[in-house]
Amino acid sequence: MNVRLLRWSGLPKVSKNVADGLALAGRLLLAALMVAGTVQKVASPSEAQALLALAALPGWMIWPAAAFTTIAGIGIALGVATRPLGILAAGYCVVTSIFHILMDDPWQMTIAFKNWVIAGGYLMLAAHGPGRLAIQR
């Protein structure tokens, strides 16, 4: 089988500068999600604690989670320890999706599914690194 037939070539190749910009934008969006999670936990801890309570877990667990999302968000944004943080962030998304698997609540099920998709983005970041526009490559 001809491998060329399997490649879709509908789009032109992007320059290194464009690829660097896309990698940076993707990294910043993934980092923003982590930082936003921190802000949400700090601003309204009762909502996150309620989800933990449904799983019979103590409410204080949101504070280590907030610390992790802060560190991961800042590290990913700056491009520091991106690969290990990407793996950890993917794991965090998969684990936290468990709290959103509420079969009677379609909104929570959507959030759980989105967490899995976002975990894929973090795994791509772990696989390919931060790109050239990073403090540490």
pLDDT, tens only, 61-77: 999 999 999 999 999 99
What residue ranges do the domains of the chain occupy? 16-128
CB distance 86 to 76 below 8 Å = yes
**Per-residue confidence band for 132, with pLDDT thresholds at 50, 70 and 90:** very high
- Is the predicted pLDDT of residue 90 greater than 70, yes or no? yes
The residue assigned the tokens 């993917």 is: 90
**Per-residue confidence band for 3, with pLDDT thresholds at 50, 70 and 90:** low
Which whole number is the average pLDDT over 100-124? 93
- Is the predicted pLDDT of residue 82 greater than 60, yes or no? yes
Tokens in use for 3?
């491998």
